[in-house]
Structure 1
C-alpha cells in the first residue's frame, strides 16, 4: 500500500510538472521572436545602458535582441508608440509632452501606446568646456558661443537650449552624437557642450583622459531660476563622478524610465521587469548609474501608465501602483 502511494505521489508530481511546463511554454509562445531597445547616440549613457540591458535580457531570457542607435527619448517614444520598437528609454519631460500630443516629432498625436517599465536614473543637466577656453561658469559663456546640445529632438536638445536662454546665454546651436560633439570640442570647433545624460557621461570621461576640461555647475541663483521655469529637480553631481571635479557640482535633473509598447505581451514584460528589478548587481555592471534602477523609485513616474506585466511584478512584490497609472 505504501509502495502504491509513493507511485501515486510520483505520478501526481510528474503530472503537475508537465502541466506547469506546458503552461510556461504556452506563456512564452506569445513572446516576440526578437526585440530592439531604442537608446540614443553612441558616446552617451543611453546607448551604453540600453545596449547592455538589451544584452542582459537576450542572454538571460534566451530571446534575440539588442540596442539600436536613435535620436533619443522623443524618437524612442514615437517608435515604441507605433510598434517599430518593443522597448526604449525616455525621460519624464518628453514622456508627458508625448502623452499630451505635444511631441515635437508628431504634434497633435497623443502617444498613448507607451507604458512605463522601471526607473533608470536621474539625468543631470551639465556643461563642459575645455579648460583652455577660460569658461568656468555659465556667465562666462561668451555671446555667440557654439554649443553642442546632443542629437536633435533629444532631451538635451529639447530642454537645455531653453534653460540657457532663460539664464541669458546667447549661442549658436549645434547638434550631433555625443562622441562626435566631444571630438569637436577638443578640436576647437565648439566652445561648450551642454549634456543631459546619465553620469558618468562616457564622452566626458574620454575627454578627461585626453585633455583638461571644466565641468561647470549652476550657481544657487541659476539653479533656483531653472527649477521655477522647467520640470526638473535639484541635483548634485558627486565629485567622485569625474577626476576633474574636486567637490560636488550643483545641477538640475530629470528622471529616466524604460518603456514598452502597451501591447507587448504581458508575460514577456513581466519576465523582463522581474529580471531587471531582481538583479541590480548585473544592471550596475551594465552602467553604474543603474544604482538607482530599483523598485522604490517607481514613485518618480507620475506620467505614463505602467505596463500590466510590470505592474503585476511590482504588486506581487509589495510595491503599490496608483490606480491612475494602471491600464
Structure 2
C-alpha cells in the first residue's frame, strides 16, 4: 500500500492522495485577472491525478504583485474569474488551493517572461514597494517602510482576499511567508530592522504573520489554512529552522492547519547546495518539533523518492513544481511506478493506462 496515495483529511476536506501541485507563478494575468492559460494550466494537473492543486502566488493588493502580470484577489472581478478555474479542478477530482501573497520589497519587478531583471520603472507600469524596513533587495528599487496604518491595511487585505477565495470555491488558503516576500521579510532579521512591536526579537518579527493567520482564520473559519515558510535564509544572521518551528507552533495555535516548508529567497547572497530532496530535513524538523501536519517540497521529482519522504516520517505530503510542468500526469505515473492501483484515471485516458486492454 503506497503512503503517497493514502487520502489525507484536513479541517473537513480530504485530498485523494498526498502528491500535490506547488504554486507556480505564470506571469500571464491581466490586471490581476487569471486568463484561459491559468484554466488549462491548473485543470491539467487535476486530470493528472493531483490531490491538491495550489494556484500561484496571488496578490492581496495591487502593490503586492511580484510583477504587473501576477494574479490577484483584491477585487470581485478577479474572484469571479477564478471561480470557473476552481470548478474545473474540482470536476477532475482534485482539491483547489490558492496562495495568498504580498511581495513587499520584491514587488514591481519585471516578469521573467520578458527576459529582464530588476524593478519596473513607474513610467512602465511599476510602483513604489513597501517592506518592514527601507532596505532594498539587491538590484531592486528602494522600498518604503510600512507605517502602522499600512500594516493594518495589509492584514485587512489578506482577510478580504480570503473571503473572495472562499466565494470562488477554493478549498485551501495558503499564506505565503517564504521566498523573500513581505511576511518573510518581517520574519527575518536580515530584512527587518524595525524597533517597534513588529521588529526585534522573534515574537515581534512574527507578529504580522500571526495577525494575518488569525485574520484569515476569522474570515474563513471552516477553510483549511496552510502557511508556506522559508525554513532558513541560507545566510549568516538570517532566519533559522528552529525559529521557523517556533513560529509554526504559534501559527498552529491561531488556526493554521499545515506547514509547507521551503527555503531561501530573502537575500541575493544566500548560499544553497541543492539536490534531490534538499529541503526535506527542514520539513522533518518542523514536523518533529511542532507535531503539526507538514509537507515537503523541492526537487522531489521521483515517485520512489516521494514515497520515501512519507515512509521516513519526514512529512505528511509532498509538493512538486517543475516535475508537474514536465509531466502534468505525474500522479498517474507515480501510482503505476509504485504499483498502486488508483480509480481516478480519467475515463478518456484509460486506454493509455499501463496494462490496460486497447
After TM superposition, the score normalised by the length of structure 1 is 0.33
After TM superposition, the score normalised by the length of structure 2 is 0.31
Structure with bigger RCO (C-alpha 8 Å, 6+ apart): 1
